[in-house]
Amino acid sequence: MPKERNLVDLLNKDVREEEGYSSRSERVISTKKRSGFRGLFLVVSVLILVGSLSSSFYFYSKYKDAKKIEPVSVSQAEDEVKRVLAAVGALIVLPKGETPTVATVADPSQLRDQPFFANAKKGDKVLIYSDARKAILYSESQNKIVEVAPINFENPVAPSSPTSFCF
């Protein structure tokens, strides 16, 4: 029997030399290391998948919200400009021969450092006359002219059509 044992030892020794291991415990440790890397790879893959899915859902919901907002058509903007001009024209003499740019104050707290907007409220209208170099702040809720100021443009730009935008 000792001869058989030697043969088995020799075979095991050959297998160990081929695999580069000197003992069975090194093979077990190496297998544990590989399974540790597999586990780490699996965890990282799952985290990447969850991150991708959550960011996809977030941007898809933002896309859906953006689609719900209806763009203002040119005719709606023209109607709003006419309505505001009629209301302001009843309170003050407006420059003739010029269609103003009409803007709506969306966040007055961002404009507080400018004296013209010191008394502005959300929803107030600003009429900007480029040729007459005049700006008018109008409060629809109070039906009052809040402020009138001269304006200076470095490069005057005349609007080609009535426009409406928010500050």
Query: Among 41, 68, 95, which residue terminates a domain?
Result: 68
Model pLDDT for residues 91-148, shown as the tens digit of each residue: 999 988 888 889 899 888 888 888 999 889 999 999 999 888 999 999 999 999 999 9
Strand order across the beta sheet in which 134-139 lies: 144-150, 134-139, 125-129, 101-104, 164-166
Q: Do residues 12 and 50 share a domain?
A: yes
Reading the block at residue 75, the tokens are 């005719």
Q: Which amino acid is at 139?
A: S
Query: Among 40, 68, 96, which residue terminates a domain?
Result: 68
Domain count, the chain: 2
The mean pLDDT of 151-160, rounded to a whole number, is: 64
Match 């090194």 to its residue by tokens: 26
d(Cα 74, Cα 97) in Å, to the nearest integer?
20
Model pLDDT for residues 42-98, shown as the tens digit of each residue: 899 999 999 999 999 999 999 888 877 766 677 787 888 889 999 999 999 998 888
Match 């170099």 to its residue by tokens: 133
Q: Do residues 32 and 59 share a domain?
A: yes
Q: In what helix (H) or strand (E) does residue 39 lie, and over which residues does it extend?
A: helix 24-68
Using alpha carbons only, give the angle 134, 140, 142 rounded to the nearest 5 degrees: 110
Q: What is the pLDDT at residue 16?
A: 52
Q: What is the pLDDT at residue 148?
A: 93
Q: Do residues 122 and 55 share a domain?
A: no
- Three-state DSSP at 8 gives helix
Residue 128: burial class (beta carbons within 10 Å; 0-12, 13-18, 19+): middle
Quote the domain boundaries for residue 125. Answer: 74-166
Q: Do residues 80 and 56 share a domain?
A: no
Q: Do residues 82 and 40 share a domain?
A: no
Q: Do residues 44 and 93 share a domain?
A: no
Q: What is the pLDDT at residue 159?
A: 55
Q: Do residues 37 and 99 share a domain?
A: no
Q: Do residues 28 and 58 share a domain?
A: yes
Q: Do residues 82 and 32 share a domain?
A: no
Q: Do residues 140 and 88 share a domain?
A: yes
Q: Which amino acid is at 68?
A: K
Q: What is the pLDDT at residue 31?
A: 54
Q: Do residues 101 and 56 share a domain?
A: no
Query: Among 23, 52, 68, which residue terminates a domain?
Result: 68
Model pLDDT for residues 9-43, shown as the tens digit of each residue: 655 555 555 555 555 555 545 555 566 778 888 89
Q: Do residues 38 and 115 share a domain?
A: no
